[in-house]
Amino acid sequence: MTVLHQEHATHPHAHGPDCGHTEVPHGDHVDYAHDGHLHRAHSDHWDECEPAGHTAHEGHDHQHGEDCGHLRVQHGDHIDYVHDGHRHAAHNGHWDDH
């Protein structure tokens, strides 16, 4: 999965363990959920952490929902469920990897 480099140019807030935003483990980094999108540190600025294209998560039998036990994160117009270092989002009868 490729991640787009989309800088969040007007972001004066410094995220960190005590900033009050949800930390979301994501592969080799940590995203911070903030206002319906996810930020990640990149060099001396913050990027939007968004996948490039559509990546279906094949063989995902678990059905996420309010009581599934995984962290729920608002992401734009939908909810992502976080586990195993990535986020899943419902999409047309399957789960996408975000």
Instruction: Tally Cβ neighbours within 10 Å of residue 95.
Output: 21
Q: Give the count of domains, the chain.
A: 1
Q: What strand order describes the sheet that includes 86-91? A: 71-75, 78-83, 86-91, 94-97
In a domain, 2, yes or no: no
Closest listed residue to residue 94, CA positions, set 53, 66, 60, 51? 60
In a domain, 41, yes or no: yes
Q: Which tops the pLDDT comparison, 26 or 18?
A: 18
Domain span holding position 83? 19-55+67-97
Average pLDDT over residues 17-39: 82
- Whether the pLDDT of residue 37 is over 50: the answer is yes
pTM of the model: 0.59
Amino acid present at 63? Q
In a domain, 6, yes or no: no
Q: Which pLDDT score, from 0 to 100, does residue 55 have?
A: 72
Per-residue pLDDT of 48-61, as tens digits, reads: 777 666 677 777 77
Q: Which pLDDT score, from 0 to 100, does residue 1 have?
A: 44
